[in-house]
Copies of this chain bind each other. A is one copy, B any other.
Amino acid sequence: MYFPFGSTYTFHYLRASFFFDFFTSQFHDMIRPLLSQQLPDFDLAAVYVSDAQYNRNIFFDTTPEAIRLYLLYNHWVLRIVVYAFIIADLALAIFEDPAVIPLPIWATTLIELVCLAVFTVRLVHYAKVIPRERFWKDPKNICIIVIILLSLVDMLIYGSLKATGYFAVRWSRVLRPLLLVNVTEGRQLRRAFRSIRNALPQILYVFLLFMFSVLMFSLMALKLFGKKGLTTNDGGAYFNDYLEIVFDLYVLVTTANSPDVMMPAYNSSVFFAVFFIIYILINTYIFMSVFLAVVYNNYKKYLKEEVRQLVRAKRHKMVRAFGVLQERKGEEGPVVTQASWNQLVRLVQPDISNAHRELLWSVSDDSNKGCIGKVAFVQLADLLNMQVIVVKSRPHPLQMWLPSLYLSSPSRLICRMVRHRLFVYAFDLIILVNAVFIGLDEENPLIANAEWAFLALYLLEILLKLYTFEPRAFFSKHEFWNWFDTVIVISALIATIINSVLKSSGGYTSRQILDIVFILRVLRLIRVVDSIKRFRAIINTLIKIGPTILTFGQLIVVVYYIFAMIGMELFKGKIRFFDAESTDPEKAFCGNPLLKNSLFAKHNYCKNNFNNVVSSFILLLELTVVNQCGFTAVTHVSARIFFVLFHIVVVIIIINIFIAFVLEAFFVEYTVDKSNLQSCLEKKIEELELGVKQYVLDSFLSARFFPGYKTVDGLLQRMFEADLDPEDFAEDEDFDPNNPSNVTFPNPNFDSV
């Protein structure tokens, strides 16, 4: 399947690509600026700038057709479609055996085939965009092809085995999450995996030393406690099997079985507690800190190298765009004129306002020469990524419609009142009173009616604010809390009305709606945080690192999915959950006689099983929080390997990388808060603000540059860009921007521990 564009700028596409139809008009809108261009060079330059802006590293063909195909490939609708089908493919686990909602095999197979078809189409499209030899060199394309082929093979085998009544395993499901990693858009995720891969050798050495320590302590425990004839809580022999001890002591590192594992020895003699204290000190505290140190150190160094690479690739692309547009003017070197620059920016970002564009130009062309050199041009990608919020100080619409009323003294009094600090404090107080009322019993009619009063007060607050402040400014993009307030209050109002209508009509109360009402009521209280400056600062940092936490979310989903698939094949049906109403005698031991009288059954943990994908995910989350392995009792000893592996991958590696990321992000935030001039990027913004002030005076706009970036890469770059040389244009042609994993720069080598 391919998408050839005729030279007459009309589209031909294959009929089979049914899902393209609905966004043709959308696509035309996007391509229109390109069509109006007579100089095809601008298309190429725009693609380079756009790639630099979003840090895409795709080595596309530079023919006009390939460029247009490439633009289509990067269109946001297509990207969303791909992700929708990946999610659909992953979600199939809900409907496949062992299913939460069982669907017949033909239905799930059909959906999977559609998904695989979509991935194939996408891959073919990609193959058309880039040169053939590059396509086959890129491991991620090979990965996708292999995944698709193996999935087809598995579907065939599984289908035929099931049809003939044999036992069959859907092993290819383990491969599904790898699609998330290997699609073109999974850059962040691939970077995270590369980061892990690079840290592995160092982690391995610490891990071996750690395991050596665990084995030594286990041997000591065997000799010290094995012959003492102590018994565990369930009456079993205590510490007399070496492998059991190793497992118990490994679990002690996760603190899951503390202090149970120590109690028999401690009950026998106080001195034996010393053994466990030393063990916990060395293995839980020191080794776990060393793991964090190693992971953090590697993460930081490798990321630095990656981001350096990314910035070099970005500059390389910008230099290419400059090469396309450059003109010679007077005795100066090659420059780009304001006219070309304007056309380029209009192509790259059609939604940018004229004022904003002029602002960016005035920043680039510091000395007002009408043209800019290479260094100033290269900044464009960064400039476009900067969040510029143009706050127009327009008068309130009411002032225009009813000037006499709006400017009357009572109206002015209201506005003054709303702007006053006490107004904020008054509503903070109301929120606190509301919190107390929520805590009280809502069966009391007085309290149930008070809810209406609170809702009315909150609505009044929003209306008063809308009366005082310009509505478009009030609901502008960066006013998070205004949006939050309004959405919560209006949803609460709707839900409360529905609830009382239901109640008064039939006396019937929907539990779900009531739950939503309660959640909304409590969420409303969060607003109080915004009043306190220090809290706002912390929350803002958390919101800023939010998008990157999503990358870790994907990483966790990939790992959880793989472990869930394996776990389901290995352990499904071993433990059964019985409803609260069930009177089945097997309920007392989760349907497995091996669990009779076990603490697992006594604690009512039966729902912690691998019987479907949802409970598997929840169980894996519990294992992440605390190694809850009652499970291993009912299966082969090899099940323990599953849990130890999961602990190593998730807790030792991924959670530590997560902590490392949060630490680093907070340090960057701290550093930026302290001295604005530290990072060279912050400096750039400082310079910009000077230019802006001049500009603001001219046009009666109040504009602010926020030192924020729109993309996740932005935060990472900001973390490390201070170390980079702004004059380094990466002009050496050896450099391969397509494949940063095979790059020419020496891959960071972390040999010494």
Chain A residues close to B by CB (< 8 Å): 205-206, 208-209, 212, 216, 219-220, 222-224, 233, 242, 255-256, 258-260, 262-264, 266-268, 270, 273, 277, 280, 284-286, 289-290, 292-294, 296-297, 435, 438-439, 515, 518-519, 521-522, 525-526, 529, 534-535, 537-539, 541-542, 549, 577, 580, 602-605, 607-608, 614-615, 618, 621-622, 625-626, 628, 655, 658-659, 662-663, 666-667, 670, 673-674, 752-753
Contact = CB atoms under 8 A, between A and B. Distances in A.
A277 B292 CA distance: 23
20 contacts: A206-B538, A209-B529, A209-B538, A212-B529, A219-B439, A220-B519, A259-B625, A259-B626, A264-B604, A270-B615, A285-B655, A286-B549, A290-B538, A292-B663, A297-B666, A297-B667, A297-B670, A534-B753, A673-B752, A674-B752
A519 B219 CA distance: 9
Contact of A285 (B222, B604, B658): B658
Nearest to A293: B666
Nearest to A275: B519
Contact of A219 (B208, B256, B522, B608): B522
Given A266-B618, A293-B663, A297-B667, 18 more contacts: A205-B535, A208-B535, A209-B535, A209-B538, A209-B539, A212-B529, A220-B519, A222-B439, A255-B626, A258-B626, A263-B603, A263-B605, A267-B577, A270-B614, A285-B658, A293-B666, A296-B663, A297-B670
A518 B212 contact: no
Contacts of A284: 625
Kindly name the residue among A268, A277, A515, A526 whose own CB sees the greatest number of chain B CB atoms within 10 A: A515
Contact of A521 (B212, B223, B537, B577): B223
A256 B254 CA distance: 11
A562 B615 CA distance: 44
Nearest to A522: B220
4 A-B pairs with least C-beta separation: A223-B518, A293-B666, A289-B662, A537-B753
Contacts of A439: 219, 222, 242
A260 B603 contact: yes
A242 to B, nearest CB: 6
Nearest to A273: B618
A220 B290 contact: no
A447 B338 CA distance: 89
A216 B535 contact: no
A233 B542 contact: no
A216 B621 contact: no
Contacts of A673: 752-753
A525 B618 CA distance: 41
A260 B220 CA distance: 33
Contact of A663 (B263, B264, B289, B604): B289
A13 B204 CA distance: 62
B292 A542 contact: no
Nearest to A671: B297
A145 to B, nearest CB: 35
Given A233-B603, A604-B267, A542 B628 contact: no
A224 B293 CA distance: 40
B525 A216 contact: yes
A622 to B, nearest CB: 5
Given A208-B535, A529-B209, A438 B260 contact: no
B205 A280 contact: no
A206 B534 CA distance: 9
Contacts of A534: 205, 753
A507 to B, nearest CB: 17
A335 to B, nearest CB: 41
A22 B621 CA distance: 64
A515 B260 CA distance: 23
A628 B296 contact: no
Contacts of A290: 538, 542, 662, 666
B753 A219 contact: no
Given A209-B538, A220-B519, A522-B220, A666 B294 contact: yes
Contacts of A626: 255-256, 258-259
A538 B205 contact: yes
Nearest to A257: B626
B607 A267 contact: yes
A131 to B, nearest CB: 39
Contacts of A604: 233, 263-264, 267
A216 B522 contact: yes
A259 B605 contact: yes
Contacts of A296: 663
A305 to B, nearest CB: 13
Given A223-B522, A263-B603, A659 B292 contact: yes
Nearest to A219: B522
A625 B266 contact: no
Contacts of A518: 220, 223-224
A602 B602 CA distance: 11
Contacts of A521: 223
A522 B602 CA distance: 38
Contacts of A752: 537, 670, 673-674
Contacts of A208: 535
